Structure 1
Amino acid sequence: MKKLIMIAIAICTIQITTAQEPNNKRNAMANLTPEEVATLKTKKMVLHLDLNDAQQDDIYKINLEQAKMRKTHMAERKARKQSGAAGKPSKEERLAIANKRLDHQIEVKAKMKKILSDEQYAKWEASMAKREGKMKHKGKKKRGNKKA
């Protein structure tokens, strides 16, 4: 009986410690500079899409632009949160943010279409769709947990 109780305590302890671990991948990426993030993302794309040197340089520029933009948005969001003005945006603000984000996505897609070959572009589109699907699924999971 004592052994059974000790095993149950050990299992509970292991579950508690693993449940409390922060998302190390997200924290590690947040500490990188935009140049480092762009380099990593470009290298992943080189491996995935088999890019040549000219394509690699062009895509690095796009990734660097996106990484810098993401870093500034994160800084702005953090500043708003610290100042206490982190309330929900109005309907008009949400619409403006969504339009800006979609315009940027369209712009990036057009740039990628110019840089990549048809086969590479199709592969890139498929990977982006898969990533988007994962992000939507992740968001639904989080929202589902908040309601419960």
Structure 2
Amino acid sequence: MKTIMMALLLLFGLSVWGQEAHRGPRHGKEHKFTAEQRSELQTKKLTLALDLNESQQEQMQVVLLKKEQERDSRMAERKEMKQEEDQEKLSSEKRYEMMNERLDAQIAHKKEIKNILSADQFEKWEKLVQHKRHRPKHHKHGKGKRSHSRKG
């Protein structure tokens, strides 16, 4: 009886300990980089992936910095809206307006990138963006990362 209780206690302890590691944003590995830091890291990643020259790196840094600063302002705006509306749903007009602004920004960003990169580099960049957009995100509400692989 004692061994069964110890085994159950050990199992319970391990399950609680294992779940704590997966709490919070990005499983406790949230890094709050500034817009400048994020744009610099993205530029370096693109330099490695697309073999950018010095001029292209500088131009990409500027474009990506602008995009990251816009992202930060949109996030702050969204956070403010959530606090004001107390989780109320957006009207269809407001949602349309936000989606339209986002798509306009994406189009402008793509044009800026196209002006910086060569045709081959732009093609590779588009493939990178498409791959990033279509990869699985592992954001299952209330389910763990491995829950889809268990059977029974």
Aligned-pair identity (%): 33
The one-character-per-residue Cα deviations of 1:100-148 (angstroms, maximum 9, x if unpaired) are 11111111111211211122111111110011112xx438x54696xxx
TM-score by length of 2: 0.78
**Superposition deviation, residue 86 in structure 1:** 4.7
**Superposition deviation, residue 6 in structure 1:** 4.6
Higher helix share: 1
Distance 1:21 1:99 in 2: 31
Q: Is 1:33 matched with 2:34?
A: yes
**Superposition deviation, residue 87 in structure 1:** 2.3
Larger Rg: 2
Superposition pairs for residues 106-117 of structure 1, below 5 Å? Answer: 106-117=107-118
Q: Is 1:138 matched with 2:137?
A: yes
Superposition pairs for residues 1-148 of structure 1, below 5 Å? Answer: 1-2=3-4, 4-23=7-26, 24-25=28-29, 27-28=30-31, 31-84=32-85, 86-134=87-135, 137-138=136-137, 141-142=139-140
Q: Letter of the aligned partner of 1:12 in structure 2?
A: S
Q: What is the aligned-residue RMSD (CA, Å)? A: 2.4
**Superposition deviation, residue 21 in structure 1:** 4.5
**Superposition deviation, residue 43 in structure 1:** 1.1
What count of residue pairs does the alignment treat as equivalent?
139
Q: Letter of the aligned partner of 2:70 in structure 1?
A: M
Gaps of 5+ in 2: 144-152
